[in-house]
Amino acid sequence: MNPRNTALLLLAVVGLGAFLYFYELGGESGRLDAEERGKRLFKGVEAGEVTWIALRTSDGVDARFEQRDGKWQVVSPLAFPADPGLARMAEALVAITAETTFDQPQPDAEYGLDDAQAKVVRFGTSGAEYELRIGATTPVGSNVYARAGGETAVQTIASYRATAFTKSLADLRDKQIVAFDPNAIGEVEVRWPGGRVVVARAPEAGEAPKPDAPAEPPAEGEWRMSVPLTARADGGAIDTLLSTLSFLRADAFLDAPSAAQRKLLTPADFEVVLRHKDASHAPLSLAIGRAEGERRPVAVAGREALFEIPATRISDFPRSAVAYRERHLARFPATDAQQLDFYFHGKDGDPVAIRAERSGDAGWTSSPEKFASGRLAEVVSELSRLQAADILAESMGEKELEKLGLSPPHTIITVLGAPPPSGKAPGEASEKDAKEEGGEPLPPAAPRLAEIHLGNVTPKGVVARAVGDPVVYRLDLETAERLPVSLDAFSSRFKEQPAAAPEPSPGEPGTAPPAPTEDSP
């Protein structure tokens, strides 16, 4: 075949394929979309053009909603932010399509479209007003009768489309109690009967520190407590509180609270004030009142209406100063741990020392006592994020520590990382470097990731300290169960147990014959 003809045929095939793809296949979605739009009851109206919606809610309230500054608002029977779902309602209105059409319908009462029975939804754009009437359910199929205002014909629409307009007024109000960006909060003040805590976020790079900032400022973004004492705050607890507040939603509303309902807020069970990093922003204040039945009132500064939340939600808001304190005794990447040293004081006074080491694919091994399979990895995981449940004292004297079993400690657990490279730059070695007999310096010591001292075990938990920290903590019993807090705990829960010898079968050599029974001859 002539090469020129072959090339022309190939070009024709490619062109035909492109036509089929772009017109037949690529254009299919466009044709389907146009067909769908042709079935709409309100042709030519887009959701973004809807500026107001009016309807009677499922609880019998005539309500009107308007879009202002890009947000939907309830404007009647009260002024209140609308639920974000109003935007979806607008989309549902303009997207309603007819399943069937009756051009010569019966009287409206036959379809439930008369004034006495129909649900009427009105909405408008900047230049037009529209009406949707929703009537009775059709005898066959999952549809309902409907009519677009001003039309003679009656259509049927899918029932699920009609349910978008059968909501109560409470469902159509914004249930978010306070809206804010947790990352923008610079200070949090928490109050409850008998207690108060103030924590502030450390200034970011470029920000001027506060006049009362500590001499050694915390790391950028770290939370610091100033009331009731100066101490590091638990950043995780503060972040959880902010997240909980930002997602807090109301179950119900009290638009005209009675004096008795307001009295539940004096004093409140929990109050919080959020101050923005930018001082030009007004603080956000919220108070959670005492329970009345299964709910609690919530007041937000600047709003007359009260919100209601389940009474049990109070457990989401810590009400002790310790809950906002930094209580970690150790925190390090578990993968960094390469060696564990356990030092137990036995009951007879003789200490027991166990060393565990991680070695590549072989995992953790220990000597002279062996841990059960997998237990060392579990211990390292627990130690890497070890957090106390309570703080017993900011510091104690030796006699007090002795009474608690911390001087000397009943148990010492030391976690070491991988030693640094032994090579040093010229002149870096000091006279303090120990020398071996051959004159070579000892390898550099492995970094200590954590060292925990454990004392008495009590019904409330185990007293503990971290080396370098004067604070005396208490681990709860649940945490203590996951650690070898004593020699007895190691022996009973962590030590590798010898395999039980199999019981010999009756009649085997070296075993006694079975005892005769009453029926034996």
Write the pLDDT tens digit of every residue in 333-389: 999 999 999 999 977 778 999 999 998 777 999 999 999 999 999 999 999 999 999
| C-alpha–C-alpha distance, residues 177 and 195, integer Å | 24
Outline where 20-59 has alpha helix (H).
28-38
Q: Is the pLDDT of residue 258 over 90?
A: yes
Report pTM. 0.78
The predicted pLDDT at position 149 comes to: 87
Task: Give the pLDDT score at 361.
Answer: 76
- The stretches of 304-424 forming alpha helices (DSSP H) are 375-383, 398-403
Question: What distance lies between CA 515 and its chain's CA centroid?
Answer: 65
Residue 20 has pLDDT above 90, yes or no: no
Lowest mean pLDDT among 27-36, 204-213, 489-498: 204-213
Q: Distance between CA 150 and CA 132 in Å, rounded?
A: 10
The tokens describing 515, both together, are 């005892």
Distance of CA 100 to the CA centre of its chain: 47
Q: Record the tokens describing residue 396, joined without a space.
A: 């104690």
pLDDT exceeds cutoff 70 at 420: yes
139 CB-contact burial (10 Å; exposed 0-12 / middle 13-18 / buried 19+): exposed
Per cent of the chain over pLDDT 70 is 81
Provide CATH 2.60.40 ranges for the chain: 36-172, 182-205+216-324, 334-418+446-494
pLDDT at 516: 47
Confidence bin at 499 (pLDDT 50/70/90): confident
pLDDT reported for residue 32: 44
Strands (E), 179-290: 185-192, 195-201, 223-227, 231-232, 252-254, 270-276, 284-288
Tell me the helix, strand and coil percentages in the chain, rounded to 5.
25, 30, 45
Is residue 440 scored above 90 in pLDDT?
Answer: no
pLDDT digits (tens, 9 = 90+) for 88-123: 999 999 999 999 999 999 999 999 999 999 999 999
Q: CA end-to-end span of the chain, whole Å?
A: 106
What is the architecture, at CATH level 2, of domain 36-172? Sandwich (2.60)
The pair phi, psi for residue 168, each rounded to 5°, is -80, 165
Q: Which residue has the higher pLDDT, 346 or 198?
A: 198
Across the range 145-151, mean pLDDT stands at 92
Give the lowest-confidence range in 29-33, 195-199, 427-431, 450-454: 427-431
Question: What pLDDT, on a 0 to 100 scale, did the predictor assign at position 11?
Answer: 66
**Given this model, what pLDDT does residue 333 score?**
97
Backbone torsion region of residue 8, taken as left when φ is above 0, otherwise alpha when ψ lies between -120 and 50, otherwise beta: alpha
pLDDT at 22: 54
Q: What's the rounded mean pLDDT across residues 150-164?
A: 93
The amino acid sitting at 169 is: L
pLDDT at residue 377, as a whole number: 96
Fold exhibited by the domain 182-205+216-324? Immunoglobulin-like (2.60.40)
Position 301 confidence tier, pLDDT thresholds 50, 70, 90:
very high
> pLDDT-based confidence at 298, cuts 50/70/90?
very high
Q: Is the pLDDT of residue 34 over 90?
A: no
Structure-token pair, residue 195: 């207690």
- The contacts of residue 191 (CB under 8 Å, 6+ apart) are 197, 268, 270, 271, 272
| Residue among 251, 57, 79 at smallest CA distance from 172 | 57
Q: What is the mean pLDDT of residues 16-31?
A: 54
Work out the burial of residue 302: count CB atoms within 10 Å of its CB; fewer than 13 is exposed, 13-18 middle, 19 or more buried. exposed
- Number of CB atoms found within 10 A of residue 413's CB: 23
383 close to 413: Cβ distance less than 8 angstroms: yes
- Percent of the chain topping pLDDT 90: 75
Nearest of 297, 287, 285 to residue 261 by alpha carbon: 297
The pLDDT score that the predictor gives to residue 81 is: 95
Please name the residues in contact with 283: beta carbons below 8 A apart, sequence gap of 6 or more: 273, 274, 275, 276, 301
With cut-offs at 50, 70 and 90, classify the pLDDT of residue 170.
Answer: very high
Q: How far is residue 218 from each of residues 190, 300, 470, measured CA to CA in Å?
A: 21, 32, 18
**Looking at the predicted structure, is the pLDDT value of residue 64 above 80?**
yes
pLDDT tops 50 at residue 520: no
Contact (Cβ atoms closer than 8 angstroms) between residue 496 and residue 370: yes
Cβ-contact 223, 231 below 8 angstroms: no
In 3D, which of 341, 361, 326 has the Cα closest to residue 409? 341
Position 24 scores a pLDDT of 54
**What does pLDDT average to over the chain?**
88
Is the pLDDT at 517 greater than 50, yes or no?
no
Architecture of domain 334-418+446-494: Sandwich (2.60)
The pLDDT of residue 188: 98
Average pLDDT over residues 409-423: 89
Task: Specify the pLDDT at position 470.
Answer: 96
What pLDDT is recorded for position 426? Answer: 44
pLDDT of residue 500: 67
Q: What is the mean pLDDT of residues 155-175?
A: 95
pLDDT in tens, 123-134: 999 989 999 999
- C-alpha pair distances (Å), 404 with each of 230, 311, 454: 26, 39, 9
* Phi, psi (degrees; rounded to nearest 5) at 446: -70, 145
Backbone angles phi, psi at 17, to 5 degrees: -65, -40
